């Protein structure tokens, strides 16, 4: 199994402002040295939904976590814990009494980063030879590549998600939540969803779902099972 490299120090940015105040948020950066062994133990509670391989599922209920950047995972967990991101099914599992404090969260996201990705994640309905795929490619290059990278590799330092290997069905479901004001995202993403029609955005996501994942980041086959949970 390939071990994905990750930063030895994970930076957490906390917003200490409240909705009731008009002042600028105070940002505090905390750094933790992750403990992979403890992360493996903490992941046990996550594996019950996200699966021991952290591959999520095809219908988009749960995303593929394996291979995602540690700072992206950290930000999402903290946003759910604080209520900035509404996710009722995840809310009980990110509380301190369930998963522990910031050190434990650092440990579990570092562990997830060591897991190889699903070599056969859910793709969109339009294959690479289709006109819809080509339009999605053009739209992605124009609107998305500057943040998520030309190959959908994301950016750990800036907490831009890696899109490679993510289930099309999950990405599509999240886009609908944002369009319906049921999930907050960065202003640039919200503006993009307004600028593009739903059909255009579906084509972008379809293109993204076909972006190749580097071979070194993939599990050897769909039959691979996480040896830590056997």
pLDDT at 8 (0 to 100): 45
- How many whole angstroms separate alpha carbon 54 and alpha carbon 116? 9
Q: What share of the chain is helix, strand, coil (3-state, %, to 5)?
A: 45, 5, 50
Non-local (6+) Cβ contacts of 133 within 8 A are 126, 127, 203, 206, 207, 210
Fold of 10-118: Cytochrome Bc1 Complex; Chain D, domain 2 (1.10.760)
What pTM did the predictor assign?
0.88
Do the domains 10-118 and 131-212 sit in the same CATH topology, yes or no? yes
Fold of 131-212: Cytochrome Bc1 Complex; Chain D, domain 2 (1.10.760)
pLDDT at 31 (0 to 100): 86
Tokens of 98: 């369930």
- How many whole angstroms separate alpha carbon 221 and alpha carbon 20? 50
pLDDT at 134 (0 to 100): 98
pLDDT at 58 (0 to 100): 92
Our separate counts of H helices and E strands in the chain read 9, 2
**Structural domain boundaries in the chain:** 10-118, 131-212
Q: List the chain pLDDT tens, one digit each, 230 residues.
A: 333 334 445 555 555 555 555 677 777 788 889 999 999 999 999 999 999 999 999 999 999 999 999 999 999 999 999 988 899 999 999 999 999 999 999 999 999 999 999 999 999 999 999 999 999 999 999 999 999 999 999 999 999 999 999 999 999 999 888 888 888 888 888 888 888 999 999 999 999 999 999 999 999 999 999 999 98
Phi-psi group of 214: left, alpha or beta (phi > 0 → left; psi -120 to 50 → alpha; rest → beta): beta
């Amino acid at each position: 199994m390939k071990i994905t490299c990750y930063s030895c120090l994970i930076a957490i940015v906390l917003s200490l402002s409240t909705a009731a105040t008009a002042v600028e948020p105070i940002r505090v950066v905390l750094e933790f040295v992750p403990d992979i062994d403890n992360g493996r133990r903490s992941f046990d509670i996550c594996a019950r939904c996200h699966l021991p391989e952290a591959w999520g599922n095809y219908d988009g209920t749960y995303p593929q976590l394996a291979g995602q950047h540690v700072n992206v995972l950290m930000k999402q967990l903290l946003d759910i814990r604080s209520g900035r991101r509404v996710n009722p099914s995840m809310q009980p599992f990110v509380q301190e009494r369930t998963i522990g404090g910031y050190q434990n969260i650092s440990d579990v996201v570092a562990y997830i980063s060591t897991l190889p990705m699903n070599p056969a994640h859910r793709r969109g309905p339009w294959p690479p030879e289709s006109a819809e795929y080509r339009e999605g490619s053009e739209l992605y290059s124009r609107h998305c590549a500057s943040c998520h990278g030309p190959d959908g590799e994301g950016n750990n330092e800036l907490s831009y998600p890696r899109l490679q290997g993510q289930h099309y069905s999950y990405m599509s479901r999240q886009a609908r939540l944002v369009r319906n004001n049921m999930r907050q995202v960065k202003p640039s993403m919200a503006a993009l969803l307004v600028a593009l029609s739903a059909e255009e955005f579906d084509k972008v996501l379809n293109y993204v779902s076909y972006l190749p994942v580097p071979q070194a980041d993939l599990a050897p086959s769909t039959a691979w099972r996480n040896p830590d949970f056997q």
